[in-house]
Structure formats: C-alpha cells, structure tokens
Amino acid sequence: MEFAVSRDGTTFVTLHGGSDTTARDGATEELATTLEALEADGTIADWSVDDANVYEHPTGPFDPYTVSVAFSVTVAIEADNSEAAAEAGSSAIDEALEAAEVDSVTYTSSPAASAV
C-alpha cells in the first residue's frame, strides 16, 4: 500500500543580506530551490516553505544573517501499514535533506502517514 508521509521542521540558512527582509527572502528562496530540486528528481513528493525569521543578526558590517526557515516535506512510501510507513518515510526525509546538504534540521512534528 502507498502512503504519503509528511514532516514539518525548521532549518538555519546563513547568508549575506542587505536587510532583514532581503535575508528572509533570500533564505526562503534558497531552501525552496533545494526542495524544488528534490521534488524534480523524485526524492520527495511535495514540499512547502512556511515561514522565515531572522535568528541572528550580523554582528559586523560584513557578517552574515542566520535565518530560521520553517518547511514541510512529503515523501511517497510503499509499506504494509501506517506505522511502518511513518518510520520509512522519516528515514527517507532525513536522507533526502542530508543529501541536499540542508543542515541544522529540527523537526517540529512527528512523521504523519496517510494512505494514498
């Protein structure tokens, strides 16, 4: 049986930006581009970037911003039941984000599996 397994999380994106707004926009765009590539190659089935907030402002004129970006991702998993799907989906999401070099991921929800 096929299941869609979703998980919400946050990650930190560090970049140089001219202001809080451009830093948030840049971080959102950077993560969206990464997740879009994962969807295009079939690694994940769906994604969204939900919010971005400046986590740490620059301490000097050439220091970067650190932005916390909230996201959700979904993978398609073949499994016998929802518990097995949630476990396999969680691993698949971890592996996909790690391979895409999305660092400092903190999950804000448990994996949720629903039959497709």
Look at residues 97, 54, 53 and name the one whose alpha carbon lies nearest to residue 73: 97
Judged against a pLDDT cut of 80, whether residue 31 lies above it is answered with yes
Q: What is the pLDDT of residue 32?
A: 98
Q: What is the pLDDT of residue 101?
A: 96
Look at residues 80, 75, 83, 67 and name the one whose alpha carbon lies nearest to residue 39: 75
Six token digits for residue 28: 């959102």
Buried b (16+ CB within 10 A) or exposed e, 3-36: bbbbbbbbbbbbeebeeeeebbebbbebbeebbe
pLDDT tens string 43-87: 999 999 999 999 999 988 889 999 999 999 999 999 999 999 999
Residue with tokens 């592996």: 95
Q: What is the pLDDT of residue 62?
A: 85
